[in-house]
Amino acid sequence: MSDRLVKMQIPMILTAVIGLLMIIEFFFPMPASVTSLNVTLRSFVTIISATALILGTIVLTIFHTKKVGTRGSEWYYSIVYVVAFVVTAGLGVLNVRDTTFLWIYNNMTSPIGAALYSLTAFYITSAAYRVLRARNWNAAVLLVCALVVLLMLIPIGAILFPPVVPLGEWIRSFPSGAGFRGMIIGTSLGIMGLGVRVFMGRQKEHLGIREERRDSE
């Protein structure tokens, strides 16, 4: 078989056929054989996703191990990763419900995650103080909307300034809702367009074609 057939044509045909099978089932009643085939194909997605996760972990571990071995830039951070990975994964593989594993999860992973997320409150406040200023009419509208929606969202806002509730609800439901609706419709149309291009073989990035060209240049 030619290289082009293996690298391009077969994957493109597979993508188009499988994509069509999925879409047809969504719009039309299909025989049990097609539904059953689709269930199997979706199981493949699940298996491939899980495999990709394992593959990603392996690649990341190899990267950090090599970095430690070659004393690359900031290699000491890689030691933290390697040690954390070996200890956590090792205990998890032995027994995911083991007390030590859960202790690591509950007392290290969870607080770190929560702490990182809560930092946004501090940075957003600092950024807002410096940047959110009524420098022109557009910025003034943004500022007023931000203040109204914030006061609507904090529990005491409606008690202190009752008009912020209807005003904030209006901003959230109409201007903001309309904007997000437009964004959702735009994104969906973009996805449809991309799908059509993939079916027609016009979009080849998922086959690594662009990278291949760049490599060959």
Partner 1 sequence: MSLMDKMLALDQRIIFALMFIALAFPILSPVILPMNIQQYSRDSFEFADSIPSGSVVLIEGGLGAATYPQGGPGLEVQIVHLLSKDIKLVFFSIGTETAAWTVTAIDNALAKLPSGVAAENGVNWVHMGYVPGGESGVAAFANDIRSVKTEDHFGTPIGQIPLMSDINKASDFAALFWWGGSEGSIPFGIRQIVTPFGVPMTGMCTTNEVPNYTPYINSGQMIGIIGGVRGSAEYEYLMGMPGLALGQAMATNFGGLLWALLVVLGNVLYFVARREGGAK
What residue ranges bind partner 1 (CB under 8 A)?
Answer: 26, 35, 38-40, 42-43, 45-46, 49-50, 53, 105, 109-114, 116-118, 121-122, 124-126, 128-130, 132-135, 143, 146-147, 150-151, 153-159, 165, 169, 172-173, 176-177, 180-181, 184
H or E segment to which residue 208 belongs: none
Q: Residue 152 burial (CB < 10 Å; 0-12/13-18/19+)? A: buried
Q: Which is nearer to partner 1, 93 or 121 (CB)?
A: 121
Say how far apart CA 122 and CA 216 lie, in whole Å. Answer: 48
- Minimum separation from the CB atom of position 137 to partner 1 (A): 14
Say how far apart CA 31 and CA 96 lie, in whole Å. Answer: 42
**In the Cβ-directed half-sphere of 139, how many Cα atoms lie within 13 Å?**
8
Q: Which is nearer to partner 1, 8 or 102 (CB)?
A: 102
Q: Which is nearer to partner 1, 79 or 150 (CB)?
A: 150
Q: Which is nearer to partner 1, 100 or 126 (CB)?
A: 126
Q: Residue 42 burial (CB < 10 Å; 0-12/13-18/19+)? A: exposed
Tell me the two tokens of residue 17.
């056929």
Q: Which is nearer to partner 1, 93 or 116 (CB)?
A: 116
Residues 204 and 8: beta-carbon distance below 8 Å: yes
